[in-house]
Structure 1
C-alpha cells in the first residue's frame, strides 16, 4: 500500500509542479520562441522538466528508507542528478558556454560512477569480462553522451517523455520476466515522475521540458543502466537495446555532423525524428517511437535478458533496422526548405 501512495504522490507532485512552472513561465515570459531550427510554430513556456527533477529526487530518499534502493545508488543519483539539473536550469535561463557545461557534465558523471564503484564487468558470449580502468573511462563517456543525446532528442512534443516512460516500464517488464523484480523501483518511479509532466507535454505541448529536465533524464537513465549491470550484467544490454531509437538517431546524426565539420554543440534540426516530424507531425512521430519500443525493441530486450538471444545478436537485430530508418529519414542531413 505504501508503494501505491508513493506512486500517486510522485505523479501528483510532478503534475502540480508542472502546472505551477507553466504559470510562472507565462508570467515571466520564459518562452521558447520559434526560429528556423524549431519544430514548433507558436511561443511555448519552457522549463517544465524541473517538475520531473524535484518529484524524482524527493522520492529517492524514501525508497532508500524503505530499503528499496541502496544508499550508494541514492547518493550517486542525488548528487549527479542535482548538478546536471542545476546546470540545465541555469542554461535555460541564460547561457553557459559549452565547455563549462561539458565540464559540469563530466563532474556529475564521475560522481555517479564513484558511488556505483565504477563500471561493473560486462557479459559477452556467456563470458564475464572486467575491463578495468578502460571500462571506467567508457562508462564516464557513456554517461556524458547519454546526458547530451537526450538533450538533443528533446525536440518535439512528448518525445523525450514517451521514450523515458516506455523504456522504464519496458525494463520493469524485463525485470519481471528475468526474476529481478527487486530492481524496478528506480525506473518505475522515474516513469511516474515523467508521466505527471507528460500530461502537459503531450502533443500539442503546453510546456517544454528544457535542458534541466532532458539532461537529467539522460543522466539518470544512464546511471540506472550501469547500476543494474552490477546485479545482473546481461541486463545492461537489455537497457541499451530498449533505448535504441534515441541512441541510434543521436549517434548517427552526430557522426555525420562531425564528418561535415559542423560545430556539434550548436543547435540544429537535422535528427531523423526532426525530419520525420516536419513530414508527419509531432504526435505521429512520438507515438511511432512508442510502438517501436513496445512492439520491436522490448521483445528483443526480453529475449536477451532470458538468454534466448545472444546480446551481440540482439544489438544487431535491434540497431540494424534503426540505422536503416535513420538513413531513410535523412538523419544528419541539414534541413531542406
Structure 2
C-alpha cells in the first residue's frame, strides 16, 4: 500500500471514530465534569483518545501486512506496550484503578517494549562513548514510565497533547529523512495523522477530551519511537528528547517543585506552567498555539542541528534552558494563590 494513502486513511479513521465516541459518551453521560482542579468550565465528553489508539494500531498492522519494511522488534514492542497502556487507561477512565496497580502495569508494559527493543544502545556523551549494559534497561524503563505519566499530566487543556504529539512526530520524521532513513519515518507519520484526525474534535474549544487511554498511549508510543531512533542512530535520540522538551521540562520541573514542598504528588492539581498560562490568558488557544510555535521555531531547529553533527547533550541543554525560564516565569509547581 502507498504510504501516503495509508496515513491519510488513518487520519480519516481517527476522525470518524472520534465522532462515534463523542456520540457514545453523550448518550452514556460519560462526561468530564469541571471541579476546583480543572482547567475547563463546561462538562465535556471524554475518552476520545481511544480513536487514536485504534487508528494507529490499525495502521501499524496494515503497514506490517503490506510489506512496508517494518522491523519485527518495533512492531511487537509498539503493539504490546501500546495496547496494554491503552487498555489500562480505558479501564481507569471508566472506573478508578489504584495508583500502585497502574504503576505496576506501566512497568510491565515498559518491560515488554524493552524486551523487543534491547534497552539503550551506547551513547556518545561529550565526546565519550558510554555503554550502559544492563543498567540501560533500568534507565529506559524509568524513561518510558515517566514519559507516559507526564503525558497524562500535561493533557490538561484543549488540544495541547495532540499538538505536542503532532509536532514531535513530524519533527522526528524529518530527522529520519535528513539522515536518509526514510522507511523509519513511516511510524511517526502514522501517529501524527492519527492524532490529527482526533485533533479536529479536540482543538480549542474541545468537543471531546482524550482521556487516560489516549494520553498514556501517546506517551509510551513516543517513548518507544524515541528509543528505536537511538538504535538506528544515537544522535536521533538526542533529537527526539529535544523535540519532547516542552512536556518534559514542564512536567519534571513541576514534579520536583511539588516534591521539595512535600506535596502528595499523586494528587490532582493544576500547577503546571501551561495551566497557569491558560488562566493568565483566559483561554486555552493561545497556550496551545504557543506550544506549536515553540516546537517548530525553536526545538526543531536545535534538533536538526544535533542531527547534522552537533553535540547531543549540549543541544539538549541549549534547547531546555529557555523552557526552564518559561517554567519559572509561569510559576510551574507553585502553590496557586487564593
With normalisation by structure 2, the TM-score equals 0.97
Which residue of 2 is the match for residue 284 of structure 1? 286
Structure 1 stretches of at least 4 aligned residues deviating more than 6 Å after TM superposition: none
Which residue of 2 is the match for residue 3 of structure 1? 3
Aligned ranges 1:1-337 → 2 under 5 Å: 2-65=2-65, 66-280=67-281, 281-307=283-309, 309-337=310-338
Unaligned runs of 5+ in 2: none
On the 8 A contact 1:225/1:239 being kept in 2, the answer is: yes
Taking the aligned partners of 1:61 and 1:17, their CA distance within structure 2 comes to 18
Taking the aligned partners of 2:9 and 2:260, their CA distance within structure 1 comes to 47
Aligned length: 336
1:119 offset after TM fit, Å? 1.7
On the 8 A contact 2:171/2:300 being kept in 1, the answer is: yes
1:63 offset after TM fit, Å? 1.6
1:5 offset after TM fit, Å? 1.7
Residues 201-242 of structure 1: per-residue CA shift (max 9 Å, x gap): 000000000000000000000000001111101100000001
1:299 offset after TM fit, Å? 0.4
1:182 offset after TM fit, Å? 2.1
* Aligned alpha-carbon RMSD (Å): 1.0
SS in structure 2 at match of 1:184: helix
1:290 offset after TM fit, Å? 0.3
On the 8 A contact 2:242/2:303 being kept in 1, the answer is: yes
On the 8 A contact 1:169/1:188 being kept in 2, the answer is: yes
Taking the aligned partners of 2:196 and 2:182, their CA distance within structure 1 comes to 21
1:336 offset after TM fit, Å? 2.3
Taking the aligned partners of 2:226 and 2:156, their CA distance within structure 1 comes to 23
On the 8 A contact 1:269/1:334 being kept in 2, the answer is: no
1:173 offset after TM fit, Å? 1.5
On the 8 A contact 2:47/2:90 being kept in 1, the answer is: yes
Taking the aligned partners of 1:336 and 1:81, their CA distance within structure 2 comes to 38
On the 8 A contact 2:81/2:113 being kept in 1, the answer is: yes
1:129 offset after TM fit, Å? 2.0
1:8 offset after TM fit, Å? 1.8
Taking the aligned partners of 1:298 and 1:180, their CA distance within structure 2 comes to 18
1:177 offset after TM fit, Å? 1.9
With normalisation by structure 1, the TM-score equals 0.98
Taking the aligned partners of 1:334 and 1:40, their CA distance within structure 2 comes to 19
Residues 266-325 of structure 1: per-residue CA shift (max 9 Å, x gap): 111000000001111210000001000000000000000110x21121111111111111
Taking the aligned partners of 2:120 and 2:138, their CA distance within structure 1 comes to 8
Residues 89-145 of structure 1: per-residue CA shift (max 9 Å, x gap): 011011000000000000000000001122222122344321111111000000000
Taking the aligned partners of 1:250 and 1:139, their CA distance within structure 2 comes to 18
1:181 offset after TM fit, Å? 1.8
SS in structure 2 at match of 1:61: helix
1:326 offset after TM fit, Å? 0.2
On the 8 A contact 2:7/2:59 being kept in 1, the answer is: no
1:265 offset after TM fit, Å? 1.3
Residues 137-173 of structure 1: per-residue CA shift (max 9 Å, x gap): 0000000000000000000000000000011001111
Residues 29-77 of structure 1: per-residue CA shift (max 9 Å, x gap): 0000000110100000000000000000111122223233111111110
